[in-house]
Amino acid sequence: MVPLALAGGVWRLVGGLRASVISRDGIAYLETARQFAAGDPAAFQRHTAPGFPLLIAALGRLTGVSEAQALALAAPCGALSVIGVALLAQRLAGRRAALLAAWLAAFLPLLVELGGEVLSEPLFLATLPWTLWALARLGGPRSARGGAAWGLLAGALGGLGYLARPEGVLVLVAGGGLLLWPRPGVPWRRRAADLAWLSWPALLIVVGFMVAIRSESVLGGSQGGAWKLTLKRNLGYHLGEWTLAAGAANLGEQLRRLGQALWPALGLAPALVWFVGKRAEDPPQESREGQDAPDPRLVGRLLCGTGAALLTAYVLIRPDRRYAAPLALLAIPLLAALGSRWLSEAKAARGYQRWAVLLVPLLGASLALGVRPRRAPKASYREAGRVLAERGAQRVLAHDSRAAFYARAQALELIWLVPDEPRSPEAIARAARTERADALVLVEEDEADRARTARVGELLGQPGQSVQAPGGVPLRVFWLGRP
């Protein structure tokens, strides 16, 4: 498992370093990390979730905060997620399932992609399986001898997951509910004690952060002074606008995205067909709760319960491709358990063939998607940043903040300064003057864009400079500062 985890971590790092430009959200994570590294507690009031920036800042105090340094931290998070998923699969169905789960977690393309980004996903995907593993140890037959340690570990990891992404609190809620759920041979006093050990560190982290952000407003300028889980999203607004039809549409879309995330594991389809055919013939398995051995049913309930809680949150808020990653991660131990049973039924020669059926689609998809540079059309923003840096730009107005990021300048974003679409040339030129920008970057992808930039050039009294990286989107850079 460890070699596969290391390979998965390296593959994530390779993919991250091959990205043409940083993600737009990644810029905000680095800015927050720089605040933390400077010892500024106001970083907790930023709309960016603080978990991953805190991790970046911890190392940044020694090495400085940079994109490469953040990617170097994301890769070990990916390796830890692989080991955590494998351990869950081992408790669920044994060592063969653990090995298959490690392959899936190490090379599933969506997990590799998000594990090589300066985003919250690397940390959240690392804490998720380890929180469930600690919960399984806490609720299992050995917790009577180590309940305090496993409970404190699960609570701390779950709290860290919440700081990475707000839905991480649902992992704690689902886990706590399953610990309280009646189990044969487990008295209510022990279940209550398990929940208490879990709750102390979790409440310290969750409530502490909620207190820190209580007086702040969420992105968009509302809910100041109210209790909330995050500053990034107005949960009250989304819940107030939610309808049954919208929820059904969100569910269908999120399941579609989950299917897209899991399609490289299509090699498991024969195992599923086999399992359906064999299920009626298999005798019912007795629960091992109360014995001195792991209980696979508890692990299965933790995986399914947590997945259901996260899916419910995504249905209430909105579907997103990134939201498919934790759902896919939770599905891997279950899929690996299914595949391991299929493999165990094969003789030695056929066993190698079945391993090939399982892994060839996965590795082929991971290789094909992993070697492709990410966000290649956006490479022009890196080139624009180089041009602006040479001219000493300090304040850059653009729809995309990456031009300012690569120029090491302050970003002035058109999306907030001129929110109305379509943005008129007059409004853009007026915003450039009002905000005292010394550079303006506009996109020229189609005829309408070119007509707009030409009109902006007339209003600013200059034609601007065309900037385009090979294969990138064409940009027009207007210099408004000193000659």
Q: What is the DSSP letter of 48?
A: S
Residue 229: pLDDT band (50, 70, 90) is: confident
Closest CA to 131 of 102, 114, 155: 155
| Average pLDDT of the segment spanning 57-79 | 90
Q: Is the pLDDT of residue 225 over 80?
A: no
| Average pLDDT of the segment spanning 175-180 | 90
Q: What is the pLDDT of residue 357?
A: 84
116-150, pLDDT tens digit by residue?
999 999 999 999 999 999 999 888 765 445 678 88
Distance CA 149, CA 147 (A): 6
Closest CA to 404 of 438, 362, 450: 438
Q: What is the pLDDT of residue 146?
A: 64
Phi, psi dihedrals of residue 314, rounded to the nearest 5°:
-70, -35
* Residue 308: burial class (beta carbons within 10 Å; 0-12, 13-18, 19+): middle
Q: What is the pLDDT of residue 145?
A: 55
The secondary structure element, H or E, covering residue 93 is helix 67-93
Greater pLDDT, 63 or 81? 81
